[in-house]
Chains A and B, each alone.
Chain A
C-alpha cells in the first residue's frame, strides 16, 4: 500500500508537469522524432526486491508509426507465490503482449508526452506448484487438515485482451516515465485438472468472471531513428 501511494504521488506529479507545460497554443509545425522506445516496468522490478514471494521482470517497448499511433508490446516473466487461507501455491510463467497505443494528447512544439489509450492481445504460458492446501470441512470436528503436496500443474496457458490507458512523460533527454492501467478480458484459459488458474503471469489474480486488472510503471529510453513534420 505504501508503494501504491508513492506511485500515485509521483504519477500525479508527472500529470501536473504535463499540464504545466500545456499553457500556450501554437500552430507551428515542428519536426517530430520517430524511434524505438524500450524500457522496464519499475513496479515489477522493485517488487522483486521488497516482496519475497515475487520475482518478475517486464520489458516494454513501442515503435512510433504515425503522428498518433504506436505499435506497443510487453514481454515479461513472473514467479509468484500466493498464500491464501485455503492454499499456498507458486505460479511461474512467461507472457507476451502486443498491440497499439493511440496518443490523445496534443503536444506543443517538440514536446513528446503521451496521454494514450491502447489495446493488447496477450498470451501467457505458465505452470503452478500447489505447495499446500487445507480441506474445507464446515464442522471442523477433527481439526484442520492441511496437506503439503508440491503437486505440479504444467503446460497451462491463457490469452486475453487488454484495454490500456496511460501516460508517458519525457523527463530528461531521451528518458521517459510512464504509467498505465489495464483492464483485462480473458479469451482463453486452459485450466488444470482439480485446480484453477488463480494467478496468470501478466494478467494477475483472476476473479470469478472473465475480467481482471493490472498496471505498470515504466522508465524507458528512446532510440531516435528519424524526424518527420
Chain B
C-alpha cells in the first residue's frame, strides 16, 4: 500500500509542476518573417560586388535606421502591415557629417502571404515582389543609385539575394 501512495504522490506532484510550465520560446533558428536581401554592385563593372561606405537606410518618419559600412550586402525589413514599403537609402547617411548626404528613395511593392509557423513563433509573412514595380527608384536630380534589378521576387527566406543595386 505504501508503494502505491508513494507512486501516486509523485505523479500528482509532477503533474502540478507540469501545469506551471511556461510556453516555449520561438527559437532564433526558426525561419520567421524574412527580410529583403540586397547586394550592391559596381555600375561600371556589373559583375563585381561593390562595398558601401556609411550607408544609412531609414523608413520615412523613423528616427532610427540601419547603418552599413564596408559591406556589399544589406538585409532590411519590409512592412507586414502594408503592400508597399518606402526606404530611404542615404549615401554617407550613417556618418556624422550631414552635408554630404545623398538621399535616394526606393519603393518596394509586393503581395503578402501569412503563413503559420508554430505555437511559439505564431505566424510569419512572406513577400512576393511585384513583377514590374517590385522595387522602384524615385528619380531625383542627383541619384547615386544607377540601377535596380530583382533577382528573386519571392522573399521566403534570407539565404538568397532578392535585389541587386548598381551604383
Interface residues of A (CB under 8 A from B): 1, 4-5, 8, 11-12, 15, 19, 22, 84-87, 115, 133-139, 141-142, 145, 147, 165, 167, 181, 194-196, 198, 208, 213, 215
Give the bracket for the number of chain B residues in contact with chain A.
Answer: 35 or more
B28 proximity list for chain A (CB < 8 A): 138
Interface set, chain B 8-63, CB cutoff 8 A to A: 8-9, 11-13, 15-16, 18-20, 23-24, 26, 28, 32-33, 35, 59, 62
- The answer to whether B80 touches A19 (Cβ under 8 A) is no
- The answer to whether A136 touches B8 (Cβ under 8 A) is no
Given contacts A167-B8, A181-B11, A213-B15, contact A86 B120 (CB under 8 A): yes
Give the CA-CA distance A87 to B81 in the complex, in Å. 17
A147 proximity list for chain B (CB < 8 A): 114
How near does chain A come to B110, taking the closest CB pair, in angstroms?
Answer: 14
Given contacts A19-B5, A22-B1, A138-B32, contact A133 B15 (CB under 8 A): no
Q: Mark B96-139, 1 if CB is under 8 A from A, else 0.
A: 00000000000000000011111111111100000000000000
B81 proximity list for chain A (CB < 8 A): 142, 145
Give the CA-CA distance A136 to B124 in the complex, in Å. 5
How near does chain A come to B70, taking the closest CB pair, in angstroms?
Answer: 21
> Residue on A with the closest CB to B32?
A136
Interface centre among B62, B77, B80, B118 (most CB of A within 10 A): B80
Given contacts A19-B5, A87-B122, A134-B122, contact A4 B117 (CB under 8 A): no
> Residue on A with the closest CB to B115?
A194
A84 proximity list for chain B (CB < 8 A): 23, 119, 122
Give the CA-CA distance A1 to B15 in the complex, in Å. 11
- The answer to whether B116 touches A137 (Cβ under 8 A) is no
How near does chain B come to A46, taking the closest CB pair, in angstroms?
Answer: 16
B59 proximity list for chain A (CB < 8 A): 141-142
How near does chain B come to A211, taking the closest CB pair, in angstroms?
Answer: 11
How near does chain A come to B88, taking the closest CB pair, in angstroms?
Answer: 13
Interface centre among B1, B13, B26, B119 (most CB of A within 10 A): B119
Apart from A141-B77, A196-B118, A208-B24, what 11 extra A-B contacts exist at CB < 8 Å?
Answer: A4-B19, A8-B16, A15-B5, A135-B33, A137-B77, A137-B80, A139-B35, A142-B81, A145-B125, A181-B15, A195-B116
Give the CA-CA distance A135 to B115 in the complex, in Å. 9
How near does chain B come to A86, taking the closest CB pair, in angstroms?
Answer: 3
Given contacts A11-B12, A134-B122, A135-B123, contact A145 B23 (CB under 8 A): no
Give the CA-CA distance A5 to B62 in the complex, in Å. 51
Give the CA-CA distance A213 to B11 in the complex, in Å. 12
- The answer to whether B122 touches A86 (Cβ under 8 A) is yes
Give the CA-CA distance A1 to B17 in the complex, in Å. 10
Give the CA-CA distance A4 to B26 in the complex, in Å. 29
